[in-house]
């Protein structure tokens, strides 16, 4: 399973990269705004800064919503760095843009997926990734895991190469359940990745080992 971090915060991206388990980054306009990144050139510089930190897979989202502008923006983003994956919203013009960009060899991530039908049409258009938003489905009492399961079944039925990128992940059990269901990738906050390592029995067990070692050594 690939691990992406869902942030535009450079310190958090560096921390996840230093951990040695990071496969990529996802951003969106809200995450960029949260870091105070505004203005076209600043946004571009920020994507470049992210690409300098990680090894691959930096999702950069278009902000246009019509076909012509989306492909123009997508092509410009893709030119910034080979690590860029152009993130396109699941709307009609977005599907057309995914078809065009993938035919040009530009990788795409179809975002804001909330149904299996949306994932199916994005895969047919040639999206490299589809991003079902688990946490936001949870927020409205809907089963996001069932959606991941359904998309996995459909993609396996037809051998679509589109990867399932479980997005809007909020915590460690989201990650574990997505892994059990065969999501190819998850994207979540640094806190969710770090929480995977925590267990109280690990902490108490280690404390006991170190105490026993110290006692035996007469310290």
Instruction: For ligand E4P, give the closer residue by CB, 167 or 199.
Output: 167
User: Are 88 and 74 contacting, i.e. CB atoms less than 8 angstroms apart?
Assistant: yes
Using the rule CB under 6 A, which residue among 111, 118, 162, 177 binds ligand E4P? 111
Q: How far apart are CA 178 and CA 152, in angstroms?
A: 11
Only one of the segments 10-18, 130-138, 147-155, 195-203 lies at the binding site for ligand E4P (rule: CB under 6 A); that segment is 130-138
Q: What angle do CA 124, 126, 132 make, to 5 degrees?
A: 80
**Applying CB under 6 A, does 7 fall inside the site for ligand E4P?**
no
Q: How far apart are CA 167 and CA 98, in angstroms?
A: 19
* 187, 190, 195, 197 alpha-carbon torsion, rounded to 10°: 90
CB of 201 to ligand E4P, least distance (A): 30
Enumerate residues 21-50 that contact ligand E4P by CB under 6 A. 26, 28
**Applying CB under 6 A, does 135 fall inside the site for ligand E4P?**
yes
Catalytic residue from among 2, 79, 83, 87: 87
User: Are 31 and 65 contacting, i.e. CB atoms less than 8 angstroms apart?
Assistant: no
Binding mask 178-207 for ligand E4P (x = CB under 6 A): ---------x--------------------
User: Are 99 and 120 contacting, i.e. CB atoms less than 8 angstroms apart?
Assistant: no
**Applying CB under 6 A, does 162 fall inside the site for ligand E4P?**
no
Burial class of residue 91 in the structure, from the number of CB atoms within 10 Å of its CB (0-12 exposed, 13-18 middle, 19+ buried): middle
**Applying CB under 6 A, does 5 fall inside the site for ligand E4P?**
no
Known catalytic residue: 72? no
Active-site positions read 87
Q: Applying CB under 6 A, which residues contact ligand E4P? A: 6, 26, 28, 111, 131, 133, 135-136, 167-168, 187
């Amino acid at each position: 399973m690939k691990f992406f971090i869902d942030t535009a915060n450079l310190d958090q991206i560096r921390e996840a990269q230093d951990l040695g388990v990071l496969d990529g980054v996802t951003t969106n306009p809200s995450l960029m705004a949260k870091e105070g990144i505004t203005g076209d050139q600043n946004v571009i510089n920020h994507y470049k800064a992210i690409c300098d930190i990680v090894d691959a897979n930096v999702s950069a989202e278009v902000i246009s919503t019509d076909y012509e502008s989306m492909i123009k923006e997508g092509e410009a983003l893709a030119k910034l760095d080979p690590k860029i994956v152009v993130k396109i919203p699941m709307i009609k013009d977005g599907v057309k843009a995914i078809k065009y960009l993938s035919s040009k060899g530009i990788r795409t991530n179809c975002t804001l997926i909330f149904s299996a039908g949306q994932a199916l049409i994005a895969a047919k258009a040639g999206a490299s990734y589809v991003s079902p938003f688990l946490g936001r489905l949870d927020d409205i009492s809907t089963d996001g895991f069932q959606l991941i399961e359904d998309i996995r079944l459909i993609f396996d039925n037809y051998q679509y190469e589109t990867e399932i990128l479980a997005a809007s992940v909020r915590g460690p059990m989201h990650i574990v359940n997505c892994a059990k269901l065969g999501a190819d990738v998850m994207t979540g906050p640094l806190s969710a990745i770090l929480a995977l390592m925590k267990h109280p029995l690990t902490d108490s067990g280690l404390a006991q080992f170190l105490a026993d070692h110290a006692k035996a050594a007469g310290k």
